[in-house]
Structure 1
Amino acid sequence: MVNIERHFETHTVENQPVPLAPYNYWANDPLLKQAVRESGVSAPPDILDKFGAIAGAKLAEAGEHANKNKPVFNPFDRYGRRINSVTFHPSYHELMAESMKANVHNYSWQNYQQPGAHVIRAALLFMQCQADAGTTCPLTMTHAAYPALKQGSALPAYWVDKLVHGSYDPRELPAKDKHGITLGMGMTEKQGGSDVRTNTTTATKQADGSYSIVGHKFFFSAPMSDAHLILAQAEGGLSCFLLPRIREDGSLNKVQIQRLKDKLGDWSNASSEVEFTGANAFLVGNEGRGIAVILDMVSLTRLDCMIGSTAIMRQALVQATYHVTHRAAFGKPLIEQPLMQNVLADMTLEWSAHLALTMRVAQAIDTAPNNAQEAAFARIATAIGKYWVCKRAPVLINEAQECLGGIGYVEENILPRLYRQAPLNSIWEGSGNVQCLDVLRALVKEPSTKTALFSVLAQAKGKNTHYDQFLTSLSSQFEDMNNLEIRSRLITEHTALALQAALLLTHYDPKLAASFCETRLGHQHGHTFGTLPAHTPFEHIITLGQLTK
């Protein structure tokens, strides 16, 4: 046990761990490495190890500073000119620069011909998000914007080029003059939220082919991005547009930031409300096809919601395991106490299943362009995973806090920040109801998604009795068309559990998989963590999730 005594006038500080030292988020995470291999990457590139070392040390420290120093909105300069500027702490820029240097925002597109490009990029984002989830937002949107930008036939080529090949450049210049760009999103309005068809923002075509945008966005993420993809009503219907922040002549576009959101978490990053007063924008795709253009982007951002939730759960588990390893109670280390072992093993089961599903979806997105069945699987599994994985983050992170006791509630360590961050991904890019309705929509409109889903599930048949019984029940739930919408949350949850079990059974540790099936599918489990059966191989499961030396 790491235990350094400190002497004060009134007492000696003992039986307290020293803070967890920096570590390599890749080299010291055996389950992450296995998940990448099982998702089709037999020879992980060196960038994963290099970035893991940076993320676990330099960026982890920068994440602390960036979250303690929130962005500041500066609507005017000292002379009263409207500048719509947001000032970030230097640590924010450090996080962005190092992450973009490691291609967190564009690895998939630079290496699109390489098998496993999306899986490798998912692992990069998984590590980046553990250091700071706030900067994950602009990195995610920049990455996901690529398929949409490719549909912008009227866009100058530099937009795509600077996304795919650019480096971080925070200078306030037109995009054409920068080393690289970041992109944000502005989809929702006050009156509609997820129901974007009710958007009232208008787009009027100009003589030069561009559009004038008038209206508002209630959530305008990362307002200092070089451009945003927005939805607005054009003559042909709801359409997608690229709206630059600074025009090619160097003038500010007519986008007025009203205020920054005072958010529960995500403190290092800025989110805003804006009004468009004749802002200049460029059509992406065709008029009336805005939602179709955005769908490819949404599938990627939803995967990133899964990655982000899995990442912060990982970091919470690391912190909890480290603490109980180096603190004793009732005569022996906490990690040797039977009930604490139950809790840790249970959290490890949960997190490993989320990691397996997340990386499997990344693999499906990788192979989708050349495999119709994988494309169909990605279509439905993304919504299923986004619903379930993101829902589970707050409860697991709260349990990790409890492992530390009162210290887990104090802002001097990372757990309160992770807990504030935890609900975000279940809300962003479509809340739980939206995901479940999307699952139903896929089943009805694209029958191939059900075929692809059950093809994956069938691969684990015969490997576990609990699984086989659960799969039979799940098939019956899919066949029952009565009250399908009102049952969609339960069906989606059951499908997510079945997918996780199938992946664990076919690719991961047998004892881990068996315990997952017995507890999650066989109902030998309570409603809280730490309720695994007494015969569970606790120490074995805990070891699977521990950091390697």
Structure 2
Amino acid sequence: MTHHYPLADKLQANTHQVENQPPTLENYNSYTADRALQEGVKREGGTHNSALKTFGQWAGSTEAIALGFDANRYAPQLVTHDRQGHRVDLIEFHPAYHQLMQTAVEHGLHASPWRTPQPGAHVNRAANYFLQAQVEAGHGCPITMTFAALPALRHQPSLLESWGDKITAPHYDPRNVPYFEKQGVTIGMAMTEKQGGSDVRQNTTRAYPIGQGGPGEAFELVGHKWFVSAPMCDAFLVLAQAPGGLSCFLLPRWRPDGSKNPLHIQQLKRKMGNVANASSETELRGAFAWMVGDEGRGVRTIIEMVAMTRYDCMIGSAAGMRQATAQAIHHASHRHAFGARLSEQPLMQNVLADLAIESEAATTLMLRMARAMDYQDDEHERLLSRIATPVGKYWICKRTPHHAYEAMEVIGGSGVMETHIMARLFRESPINAIWEGSGNVQCLDILRAIEKQPEVLDAYFAELAKAQGANGHLDRFIHQLQRQMQDTQALQYRARQLADGMALALQGALLVQHAPAYVADAFCAGRLADRSSLNSGTLPTGLDCAAIIERAQPLE
């Protein structure tokens, strides 16, 4: 007997209408919709041109956003051996990852300031990197390492001559073939080991000269590396103990004779974030490599690469903040609750404005450092970049996790779902704070820079002086910071307190000079005056939160 349920049949496909659900933020121009970025590019000497607008249109497109999701949904897979049993050490990626890599390389994110050095080259590259990192952060790791490798290779002109053109070429070639069969290559880095971590002087990997030894000559490396990201790069800058002490080496994935170099991937790391990027544990079993720079001066050589990767961490975290801010404001602007639009409710305005000024402060500092990179021949810029890079890396990267959480809370339950980009932004948020030197490492580097080159502190305060007299909160904060810096007691113990102050003062000085008054006033009142709460949404009264939110709107 067949039963009939008239009401159930009628309502089966139509229990309710979907209302009050914000549309997905897509098919927008992430460059032209970002006023802080546009103004910063122009101010810091970049080229505010159609190329950036075109790239911003791609970065905000449905197609690009889908690539980011796919590259993370289908994680890289390790293949250690082929079906005949030969060792291959191959990482298989989803095609979306390769498309993102190709886009990054073809737009010069890996090398454009080195390939075409000109005023504004670093600013333009930073802006493009900032836009692409909002699409997907994981593939930025090999892009950053390739970008950062060239300054280190300058310590060995013979290697720079043979590798430089391939490193800077706008060609992405993911094939598993020797480097000499490719037009373009990517470069990775392998420093840390189990027993030392950031303390690389505890490294035990040994380097044995094949012939006479010395800079530029061939060695065989035996040991292990605890954290090798992007192991499909064509070569790696590696630290190992040579007869003359800890030295830097360039280790190709294939030997010069075309045979496979015995860099064996033991496992892929299962990371909470940065999923699209393969990170591995490896063993070096007599791996061929060339010494880079002076024997026994490996840290001095590779630190050139490390400094540039830290600078890129700043860009990547600032990008994460911008995307999180855009998502939060977009959601609140389309969602009604308790009888009114969320973005128009006072408490929500406080939260959104707080997120927006944090994002703009990060973007502004990041672009200021890009200009410093463009003018390293200028003594002030060189000294400022030496101290402000660890300051910015420490502060921006450390602020990102809390910022991402607050943006996720604005969106609510939907923001926790893996179908929403906020879940990925949150999982990515701690990565840059930990990689390339944790917060403590950055703070100690700041102290080391001041001790070795006291003039870096003069350059830092000279930069702050450009904003003198423009804001009472800022002036008082800088005066207090100067007194704190003069106190040499327990400097290491107080290093984070000093780094916090240096970052806030620098961001405040830059915003007071360059941002609209309503943004700078909010930052100085909310960050530099006395505050008892560290949570977002605790800005003081009397600020133009509506204007701040409108400025940060992701839709034009």
Name the structure 2 match of 1:485: 492
1:52 alignment counterpart: 56
User: Which residue matches 1:520?
Assistant: 527
Of 26, 30, 34, 1:25 maps to 30
1:476 to 453, 464, 483: 483
- The code of the aligned residue for 2:178 comes to P
Matches within 5 A, 1:442-457: 442-457=449-464
Q: Deviations over 1:231-276 (max 9, x none)?
A: 0011111111110011233221011100000001001110000000
1:66 and 2:74 equivalent? no
**The one of 255, 271, 279 aligned to 1:263:** 271
Matched, 1:111 2:108: no
Is 2:144 aligned against 1:140?
Answer: yes
Deviations 1:128-177 (A, max 9, x none): 11111000100000000011122223427341111112410011111111
Name the amino acid aligned to 2:303.
L
Distance 2:13 2:340 in 1: 25
Alignment-mate amino acid for residue 246 of structure 2: L
Is the Cα–Cα contact under 8 Å of residues 146 and 160 in structure 1 kept in the other structure? yes
Residue equivalent to 2:126? 122
Per the alignment, residue 334 of structure 1 pairs with: 342
Is contact 1:518-1:524 (8 Å) kept? Answer: no
Partner of residue 105 from structure 2, selected from 100, 106, 117: 100
Q: Which amino acid aligns with 1:455?
A: A
Structure 1 counterpart of 2:394: 387
Distance in 2 (CA, whole Å) between partners of 1:380 and 1:541 is 30
Q: Name the residue aligned to 2:300.
A: 292
Residue 491 of structure 1 aligns to a residue in which SS?
helix
Q: Distance in 2 between the 1:473 and 1:101 partners?
A: 47
Contact 1:150 1:160 in 2 (8 A): no
Equivalent residue runs for 1:119-518 within 5 Å: 119-155=123-159, 157-207=161-211, 209-368=217-376, 370-518=377-525
Calculate percent identity across the aligned residue pairs.
49
Q: Which runs of 5+ in 1 are unaligned?
A: 1-5
Distance 1:303 1:250 in 2: 35
Deviation at 1:70, TM superposition (A): 0.1
* Residue 533 of structure 1, CA deviation: 1.7
8 Å Cα contact 2:245/2:295 also seen in 1: yes
Asked if the contact 1:30/1:548 (under 8 Å) is kept, the reply is no
**Alpha-carbon offset, residue 31 of structure 1:** 1.1
Contact in 1 for aligned 2:107/2:170 (Cα 8 Å):
no
- Give the letter for the 1:223 counterpart: P
Correspondence for 1:82: 87
CA distance in 2 between counterparts of 1:17 and 1:308 reads: 26
Tell me how far 1:538 sits from its aligned partner.
0.7
Aligned counterparts of 1:8 and 1:440: Cα–Cα separation in 2: 65
Q: Which amino acid aligns with 1:318?
A: A
| Deviation (angstroms), 1:46 | 3.3
Contact kept? 1:354, 1:389, Cα under 8 Å: yes
Counterpart of 1:3 in structure 2 is none
Distance 1:258 1:546, change over 3 A: same
Distance 2:400 2:40 in 1: 19
Instruction: Report the alpha carbon displacement of residue 490 of structure 1 after superposing the two structures with TM.
Output: 0.4
Give the superposition deviation at 1:36: 1.2
**Which of 39, 53, 70 is the aligned partner of 1:34?**
39
Separation of aligned partners in 1, 2:140 and 2:58: 15
How far apart are residue 358 of structure 1 and its match? Answer: 1.1
Question: Does residue 1:540 correspond to 2:547, yes or no?
Answer: yes
**In the aligned structure 1, how far is the partner of 2:287 from the partner of 2:156?**
18
Q: State the alpha-carbon separation in 1 of the partners of residues 467 and 170 from structure 2.
A: 43
Identify if the C-alpha distance between structure 1 residues 285 and 20 changes in structure 2 by more than 3 Å, giving closer, same or farther. Answer: same
Whole-angstrom CA distance in 2 between matches of 1:258 and 1:165: 31
Deviation of 1:99 after TM superposition, in Å, equals: 1.1
CA distance 1:21–1:7, shift in 2 (3 Å)? farther
Alignment-mate amino acid for residue 253 of structure 2: R
TM-score by length of 1: 0.96
- The aligned amino acid for 1:79 is Q
Higher mean C-alpha displacement, 154-163 vs 28-37: 154-163
CA separation in 1, counterparts of 2:532 and 2:17? 41
Displacement of 1:8: 4.4
Deviation at 1:207, TM superposition (A): 2.0
- Superposed CA offset, 1:2-47 (max 9, x none): xxxx994322221112212222221221111111122223x42433
1:31-79 C-alpha deviation (Å, 9 max, x unpaired) = 11111122223x4243322222222223322111000000000011112
SS in 2 for 1:228: strand
TM-score, scaled relative to structure 2: 0.95
- Deviation, structure 1 residue 196: 0.5
Task: Give the counterpart letter for 1:26 in structure 2.
Answer: Y
Amino acid corresponding to residue 250 of structure 1 in structure 2: G
Work out whether residues 158 and 176 of structure 1, in 8 Å CA contact, stay in contact via their aligned partners in 2: no
- Range with bigger deviation, 17-26 or 530-539: 17-26
Deviation of 1:455 (Å): 0.3
Summarize the Cα distance change of 1:546–1:363 in structure 2 as closer, same or farther, 3 Å threshold.
same
**Matched residue count:** 541
Mean alpha-carbon deviation: is it higher for 534-543 or for 490-499?
534-543
Q: 4+ residue runs of structure 1 moved beyond 4 angstroms? A: none
Q: Is the Cα contact below 8 Å between 1:397 and 1:418 reproduced in 2?
A: yes
Q: Give the letter for the 2:137 counterpart.
A: A
Contact 1:345–1:538 under 8 Å retained in 2? yes
Structure 1 or 2, whichever has the larger Rg, is: 2
Deviations 1:387-445 (A, max 9, x none): 00000001011011111110011111100101000000000110000000000011111
Which structure 2 segments of 5+ residues have no match?
1-10
81-90 or 207-216: which moved more?
207-216
**Contact 2:36–2:364 (CA<8 Å) still a contact in 1?**
no
Cα distance in 2 between the residues matched to 1:403 and 1:320: 6
State the SS of the aligned residue for 2:266: strand
1:427 counterpart letter in structure 2: I
1:48 is matched by which residue type in structure 2?
A: L
Amino acid at match of 1:187: M
Alpha-carbon separation, structure 2, partners of 1:141 and 1:45: 27
The 3-state SS of whatever aligns with 1:24 is: coil
**Alignment partners' CA distance in 2, 1:203 and 1:49:** 48
Q: 1:156 to 1:423 in 2, by over 3 A?
A: closer
CA contact (8 A) 2:153 2:160 kept: no
